[in-house]
Structure 1
């Protein structure tokens, strides 16, 4: 079982990822997508990852979409952060993917969060937690205990935006460029003051979303100020 003392620093994670080109760091976890030659091959890879999980007693969040397998490792018992167990598991899963003839497509793995502006998070968080069937994480964010729905977090501000709810769309910095360019081409307002960590996008009706990367994330999920 991992503990807080086992949490790796971002520097240590980046050093490990230099030897794991298939994987990306994402909000306290390691994530990738493997494209297999066939759907049957994807099922074989899933079975291989399952055997690794049982051998190492460390289980990933895993999603199967025809010939693609989405995988994310995090150490839940360390507060949903990256530990050496995740590095070891990702290494083994990568070896299994190579044996299956799978190609890594880490840019396909995106994570969506819901941000809510409020001067009083405690005054509303329980409503959202109960309605969604979520639980609180170590930072007071709300998360799906089964990893299916988006995390909900509360942006504390005395001056909430008129559009209080926005989405944070997380992609790896290495693959974020084309999405930024295509989004800008739609005519949306692009606030790049805090790039590359995030670019605040506002549509023609004032609705906001943030295109986020792992830049600046120190495994304590620094949240952005009112934007």
Structure 2
């Protein structure tokens, strides 16, 4: 298999079995690494940069005080996970261990905005132009710099009265705690599509979906 060939979901799952710091979410390998200090986080950031340069494969890294959020995907393979992502994930985990960083999967909440519509083409360009996003192969709008949440259009002949909802993707292992907290806060839960997603409706009728990697493809 070539380094830039997209891995299948079973292949990704097999690799993740030996990558405990990482999880699959929205087409990327993701981790959150909490360091002993902010300075240590910056040093780890620099180490990740050096590894990325050596591999000629660059992750998205977001520094927040003492924590780094890292996402690995191969854009030239259709924003899918490849062997290059797995190799760099291993190298980053080794560097994180040397830096005394701890994986914090409970911090991995990735947000998308979903819009119900019966004609996505009629509205998507308005949103793309306003946001400065690019249009992905599946029609979703994505921030080319990975800063803002993506926007996707849920095609339906009968759009919901409340056309906007958030999709919040969390690691499957963390989802029971998230769902319990959401329910305790007063939301009703629809588990009909679980474990891929659970629809939560708040006390005023607003919806969001708590999504996981379980039951999804690569």
Shorter-chain TM-score tier: over 0.9
Deviation at 1:107, TM superposition (A): 2.0
Deviation at 1:216, TM superposition (A): 1.7
Whether contact under 8 Å (1:39, 1:66) holds in the other structure is yes
Task: Tell me, in whole angstroms, the C-alpha distance in 1 between the residues paired with 2:12 and 2:120.
Answer: 31
Q: Which residue of 2 aligns with 1:72?
A: 71
Task: Tell me, in whole angstroms, the C-alpha distance in 2 between the residues paired with 1:142 and 1:124.
Answer: 12
Task: Tell me, in whole angstroms, the C-alpha distance in 1 between the residues paired with 2:61 and 2:141.
Answer: 20
Q: Determine helix, strand or coil for the equivalent of 1:180.
A: helix
Deviation at 1:109, TM superposition (A): 1.4
C-alpha RMSD of matched pairs (Å): 1.1
Task: Tell me, in whole angstroms, the C-alpha distance in 2 between the residues paired with 1:32 and 1:205.
Answer: 34
Q: Determine helix, strand or coil for the equivalent of 1:182.
A: helix
Deviation at 1:113, TM superposition (A): 0.3
With structure 2 as the length reference, what TM-score do the two structures score? 0.97
With structure 1 as the length reference, what TM-score do the two structures score? 0.93
Q: Determine helix, strand or coil for the equivalent of 2:123.
A: helix
**1:42 maps onto 2:41 in alignment:** yes
Whether contact under 8 Å (1:22, 1:104) holds in the other structure is yes
Which structure 1 residue ranges, 4+ long, deviate > 6 Å from structure 2? none
**1:92 maps onto 2:91 in alignment:** yes
Where does structure 1 lack aligned partners over 5 or more consecutive residues? 220-227
Deviation at 1:194, TM superposition (A): 1.0
Whether contact under 8 Å (1:2, 1:75) holds in the other structure is no
Deviation at 1:2, TM superposition (A): 6.2
Q: Which residue of 2 aligns with 1:31?
A: 30
Cα pair distance change 1:109/1:140, threshold 3 Å: same
Q: Which residue of 2 aligns with 1:113?
A: 112
Q: Which residue of 2 aligns with 1:193?
A: 192
Q: Which residue of 1 aligns with 2:58?
A: 59
Task: Tell me, in whole angstroms, the C-alpha distance in 2 between the residues paired with 1:68 and 1:125.
Answer: 34
